[in-house]
Structure 1
């Protein structure tokens, strides 16, 4: 123990500062003092304890195995009420999806009808203004003038002269 105290840098005189010694006191006073100091010390919070008496941490006790009826290796029995509820929920979900798709189709038809009306109005306006537009489609463009062979020879000589 003295080696441990020397490693920690404590001397026997320093221990009196950390511990209360009941030297020369009757045993009854010592036991009262121990009870008092143990009651004064704070217990760790409930969340930090690994085991608590307040919280049930054990599984429930299994019942008597004789009450259960052995079904053997037959197919499992399905709860019909549960199956009916699942079927009703599935049908409701399908009906909701169908309703959404029908709304989308109706919206699409409305958009197509609107585009068709706009196109017809635009065509009507173009037909009204057609007689007043200049006729640009009949003007023929003339091809670029062809160069004479003498001009081509002159261009070739000019290019050679650049070297």
Structure 2
């Protein structure tokens, strides 16, 4: 089978049905007891519907806590040589701004403050990028790591 046909076939296998309101309630019930990082990752994906590469490229500067907005204007890609690269702009546009619930922003503020505290404790200063879900040293994580995080959370919570 040609490569394009395989990719289309595999893409169809990954499509799942949307959640109903009862399933969403169950998801958020399980998130109440989840670690802060897990809450932040899953809520970001849920409320923004952003691509994995866009989510892992989020930095502290992208959060406007006064207006409950998140700006997406860059993305992280995994190159063929297995290195990560930050690119300006998104796959489908230059940028997008999302208005999100205040409850989500409270979680993100707590998570950002936790990251800042870790950097202070480790005396890490003057980093070029403050990726929300990256390392405290300023390195991004692979986009696929978000899906693995979700799979572990879903498995633990049935």
TM bucket (normalised to shorter chain) is: under 0.3
Give the structure with the higher percent strand. Answer: 2
| Bigger-Rg structure (1/2) | 1
Give the structure with the higher percent helix. Answer: 1
Q: Work out which structure has the larger RCO, using CA pairs closer than 8 Å and 6 or more positions apart in sequence.
A: 2
Q: TM-score, normalised by structure 2?
A: 0.15
Q: TM-score, normalised by structure 1?
A: 0.15
